[in-house]
Amino acid sequence: MKSILATLAALMALSVPAAAQDGKLVLYTSQPQTDAQQTLDAFKARYPRVDVSFVRDGTPRVLAKLRAEIEAGQPQADVLLIADSVTMEALKQERRLQAHEKADVSAYPAGIHDKDKTWFGTKLITTGIVYNTKAALKPSSWLDLTRPEAKGLVAMPSPLASGAAMIHTVTLSGSLPGGWSYYEALRKNGALASGGNGDVLKQVAGGEKLYGMIVDFMPIREKAKGAPVEFVFPSEGVSAVSEPVAILSTARNPAAARALIDFLLSEDGQRLAARQGYVPAHPKVGLPAGYPERSAIKLMPFDPATALAGDSANKKRFSDIFE
């Protein structure tokens, strides 16, 4: 009898935090519409008393909306869930974020989250190589895109228009032995940098180009649907954006905001990311179908604070090479 009562007491104690969260919670996100709705539906199931809503758009437009609201003295969002850590680092330096000091990140490797716990990576969206299955050269290295067989056949998203592409450019130029000379070699080999990841996929799947730099989930999903594409995690490693989440310093419901972050970082939240087709940031959660073993994916080092400080110089360097 005592053991049953003890068990019931423990279960009641576990339910208190969920029951204690209520009120309105507003999320601004760059997640795809379906993913955002699935994420909040799962959160709502755990915290039914929280009235949660979201605004969805690309990261630049989400930030433009948020900054306009801040300027007017009426910021609406409690939580941001956007594409990249460089944007979060900028907001942190502007003191727009508040720390969630009790967030449990003990299972995560260093570098996934801000050391001061103001933003937290929720998944790993890597950039590697996509190629059309009719291509004679089957690339395994970033250097393969500079080979004569790939001349005039390489597409990539422009880092002047895409934050994820800029992170990729900074990562490669900082990690490959040749640094920026790698991009000079790409340009000499006729590589085209324009548009976004969707444009790259369209060109490679359609055969207009045979190779491209692209985020992992797009070609992996399209291959499963029958598209004539393959995705490669190059031997040197890959860049990654972590789709970080953060609480705004002006959040009206910080308690519910912390609960949302806790959910996203939990194994349940990470399994949801896997079901949506992404690489979970949590090292114990398995990868979706179509991906290799986690050990086969080598992440190149990246420091968002350094990237933020050098953003203007990096954009100019890229522009000087490709335009």
Higher pLDDT, 163 or 56: 56
Domains of the chain: 2-122+242-291 (3.40.190.10), 125-240+298-322 (3.40.190.10)
Tell me the pLDDT tens digit for each residue of 184-216: 999 999 999 998 899 999 999 999 999 999 999
Whether 21 and 256 have beta carbons less than 8 Å apart is answered as yes
The pLDDT assigned to 11 comes to 38
Higher pLDDT, 45 or 15: 45
Whether 247 and 92 have beta carbons less than 8 Å apart is answered as no
Assess whether pLDDT exceeds 90 at residue 18: no
Q: Average the pLDDT over 262-282 and give the result.
A: 96
As a whole number of angstroms, the distance between CA 188 and CA 152 comes to: 9
Assess whether pLDDT exceeds 50 at residue 52: yes
Structure tokens at 29: 């996100």
Residue type, 125: I
Q: Average the pLDDT over 230-254 and give the result.
A: 97
Assess whether pLDDT exceeds 70 at residue 177: yes
Confidence of residue 20 (pLDDT cuts 50, 70, 90): low
Confidence of residue 19 (pLDDT cuts 50, 70, 90): very low
Q: Average the pLDDT over 253-266 and give the result.
A: 98
Low-confidence winner among 91-100, 147-156, 162-171, 246-255 (lowest mean pLDDT) = 162-171
